[in-house]
Structure 1
Amino acid sequence: MLALLIYRVIFFLLMPFLLLALLFRSLNNPHYRYRFNERLGMLPKANIPKAFGKGGIVVHAASVGEVIAISPLVEQLILQYPHLPITVTTFTPTGSAQVSKQFGTRVQHTYLPLDVMPCTLLFLNRLQPQLMIFMETELWPNLINQCATKKIKLLLINGRLSAKSMKSYQKINALIKPTINCFNKILCQSHDNLYHFLQLGADADKCSVSGNLKFDMSINDTVLDKQAKLMSILPKNRLIWLVASTHPGDEEITLAAFKLIKKVFPPLLLVLVPRHPERFSSVAKLCVNQGYSLAKRSDNTVVTEQDIWLLDTLGELMAAYALADIITMGGSFSHIGGHNPLEPALFKKPIIVGHDMHNFTEILSQLKQKNAVIQLPDSANTIDITLAQTVISLFEDKDAAYELGSLAHNVVLSNQGATNKTLTQVHELLK
């Protein structure tokens, strides 16, 4: 296949630059420079014990959000296939940290190697999986084709392909079409996503709609334990506005809105949660430079009169949702495409999002159909004012805030079930 051959040659030649890119990212996040052997497909025996290392199931979840989404599935795989090693791979350090926190030693974990022939061969030869599970639009042509050649079963779950992504892939369809048809089964989030995969040339017999795994969440004991710890730190007599998964620019909008809201609700506590750990320090400086008093979760001090609480730890956001009165999702005020609003919905919290939620089109559509979310318009010059007015209105009308959160919770419950459909397909492929 000429397109695949060209792809392999290009990526092999680019490998030094890919490694340099990882080193560059490590300037802000040192974890990117660690475990380079795994990026090259060389998995240490100490990391994957020989007795459990081969012949199992590999599940790839690129980053934190994907790890959280596949958690119910992985828990079931551990229960239903106790004789098989379950390996969860990620690409980002934050995803890696989430795997360790979520599953500990119950799963094997490594970074997914760079999609370069020698690296992927080493990876597959070391693990020799029966089944590899990819998620959403994680299409790695070289690795996927090597799996197909080695007769390793391939399953794409929670398939997501926007119209924009489909058009981009169509430009390299000579490579993408054979790649997606290597999969034994493609389970899509919705009929729209299914249609887009078919438009790319996916075999219709291999494709079906299973729903979105991100709805299949629950409040487990781990979350409840974390929630109890946070309750001992946060004040019980103050309103709390939590802004989650913020990116550059989000904090400026939030702090400008916060200034306006505090004129109406002076005791309000703002909880800020930057998306990436490497930004914790700069966000803290921004808050202080704007004259706000700040407490950090990493300091483990009780919040008293401080204006802002910075959640600068990993793995505690979901528990923090339970303690907030209103949630705003970061990454939705620019080109980022938003972040998953379903976790706060699980706690019946009123949710506000910005105009750009293109990464969660189907989820947002279902929430809006049920009047279960507030989406702000694209008004760049006045977005802070609009955000402040919306937060104030919800604080002033507790019944409206409660109804908004309850409707969001109902949307979550009514869409659960994708995990069971995915497990059924896993059973079929492992027969």
Structure 2
Amino acid sequence: MRYSLSLFIYRITLILLFPLILLVFIIRSHNHTAYRQRVSERLGFVSKLFKQNGVIVHAASVGEVIAITPFIKQLLRDHPNIPLTITTFTPTGSAQVIKTFNDQVQHCYLPLDIWPCTWLFLKALKPKALVLMETELWPNLIAHCQQKHIKLQLINGRLSDKSMASYQKLSWLIKPCLQRFDAILTQSEENYQNFIALGADPQNCQISGNLKFDLQINPDVASKQQVLEQCITEQRQIWLVASTHPGDEQLTLDCFTTLRKEHPTLLLILVPRHPERFESIFQLCQQHQFHTVKRSEHNSVTIQDDIWLIDTLGELLPACALADIVTMGGSFSTIGGHNPLEPALFKKAVIVGHDMANFKEVLNQLQQQHGIVQLNTRPSNSADEITSALSNKVNQLLVDRSARNKLGENAYKVVKANQGASEKSVIALVQLIDNQ
């Protein structure tokens, strides 16, 4: 009864907040027009051409789509007769799905977690199973699935000690949500224990490893790598700064100014996280008097060019192959960092900042094998101190090729040693469907 009451309160609250939720989308669409498109999908309406009785896999944004790609590809390869619908929540995630899978899958936005929207969505698709990942918990959708006897699987489960405090405050909502899952596959022992502590049924939990290790240099990535390589006309050392957030670009440009004094031909490749910021970052580079080339304009990068701005989607992974050193954005503030395994796949030396909370286990594994450099800075450090620390470390690695290569080789070994989570997740999903 208590669980039913908590779900009822949640549903009523979201229905009341519906006008505010729509307002948020309108505000976001000011800088990103895609947020005002395909609104019907947000409300639960899907194409009448979509096949039913398949599997829905949700990956919120770009990072999740990339992480789940090996899982999807194995599912398509091993079980081609299962209709597969991939949902996302952001336009960039949507673009990544279309770019990666084209017509191999059905694709739409996940509806808002409001009772009429999820009801329409599930009624249209009649899925056999819903697969969520990491900490994507949608209480209303999950409850609907259980009521309709739709199997529920959580893969790549991640629940850090830091997140536990927040979730425990919502245990009245989260605990019944977790107990509705038929299978929860976690990244590590720590995550496994945290899910159980939060209320998940131990009989339905297992450790499968981290999907993010299952990255592959597939033909599409290799082809894009060749295209990018041909754009650079001269042999140069390259520093790539990936998945940047506000503040990361200023830090990068300050470091680049210092580095160019010792390395005048150094090329900076800048890959922002969010497309709506592409133009403002281009203007920032221009303000620093750096000659900047946009990838979207398909121009060659000559020796006169200082910065190559990757203002396109789906090219971060192949761009990593070009770099001598890669620095991960989102790790110098409170974002929690981004996936260092992407450059590790290409045996690149990787530098991160103090905040890698989203990749704690990955960071630990890389550090244990001396496959990554984490700067010894703190949030309390001044911008000048962080700039000095980053520029000094990049400079050291630019000078010392042996150290760069050793870091990259060690990181690559960690990647290869931890692969296999996708296969385990696919096997567990098929077992759920077969046992219906």
- TM-score normalized by structure 1? 0.98
Matches within 5 A, 1:329-368: 329-368=328-367
Displacement of 1:237: 1.4
Displacement of 1:96: 0.2
1:395 maps to amino acid: L
Which among 419, 423, 426 is matched to residue 420 of structure 1?
423
Structure 1 residues 34-83: Cα deviation after superposition (integer angstroms, max 9, x where no partner): 000000001132xxx25xx1000000000011111111111111122222
Matches within 5 A, 1:16-31: 16-31=19-34
Q: 1:4 matched to which residue of 2?
A: 7
Which among 24, 31, 36 is matched to residue 33 of structure 1?
36
SS in 1 for 2:254: helix
In the alignment, structure 1 residue 374 sits paired with structure 2 residue 373: yes
Q: 1:83 matched to which residue of 2?
A: 81
Structure 1 residues 355-400: Cα deviation after superposition (integer angstroms, max 9, x where no partner): 0111111111111111110001223331111111101100111000
Displacement of 1:256: 0.6
SS in 1 for 2:206: strand
Larger mean Cα displacement after TM superposition, 306-315 or 74-83: 74-83
SS in 2 for 1:55: coil
Matches within 5 A, 1:125-204: 125-204=123-202
1:105 maps to amino acid: D
Displacement of 1:221: 0.4
1:380 maps to amino acid: S
Displacement of 1:262: 0.5
1:152 maps to amino acid: I
Q: 1:411 matched to which residue of 2?
A: 414
SS in 1 for 2:231: coil
Q: 2:247 matched to which residue of 1?
A: 249
2:371 maps to amino acid: A
In the alignment, structure 1 residue 217 sits paired with structure 2 residue 215: yes
1:120 maps to amino acid: T
1:424 maps to amino acid: I
Structure 1 residues 99-128: Cα deviation after superposition (integer angstroms, max 9, x where no partner): 001000000000000000000000000000
Q: Percent identity?
A: 55
Distance in 2 (CA, whole Å) between partners of 1:365 and 1:414 is 14
How many aligned positions are there?
426
Distance in 2 (CA, whole Å) between partners of 1:126 and 1:236 is 54
SS in 2 for 1:327: strand
8 Å CA contact 2:336–2:357 kept in 1: the answer is yes
8 Å CA contact 2:130–2:152 kept in 1: the answer is yes
Distance in 2 (CA, whole Å) between partners of 1:423 and 1:310 is 37
Which among 383, 391, 404 is matched to residue 401 of structure 1?
404
Q: Please tell me the root mean square deviation across aligned C-alpha atoms, in Å.
A: 0.8
8 Å CA contact 2:74–2:423 kept in 1: the answer is no
- Segments of 4+ moved more than 6 angstroms: none
Matches within 5 A, 1:165-314: 165-304=163-302, 305-314=304-313
Distance in 2 (CA, whole Å) between partners of 1:309 and 1:28 is 23
1:394 maps to amino acid: L
Q: 1:59 matched to which residue of 2?
A: 57
SS in 2 for 1:232: helix
1:337 maps to amino acid: G
Distance in 2 (CA, whole Å) between partners of 1:238 and 1:306 is 11
Distance in 1 (CA, whole Å) between partners of 2:172 and 2:285 is 49
Distance in 2 (CA, whole Å) between partners of 1:237 and 1:171 is 55
Structure 1 residues 119-160: Cα deviation after superposition (integer angstroms, max 9, x where no partner): 000000000000100000000000000000000000000000
Distance in 2 (CA, whole Å) between partners of 1:366 and 1:115 is 36
Structure 1: runs of 5+ lacking an equivalent: none
Distance in 1 (CA, whole Å) between partners of 2:75 and 2:119 is 25
Distance in 1 (CA, whole Å) between partners of 2:20 and 2:90 is 18
SS in 2 for 1:17: helix
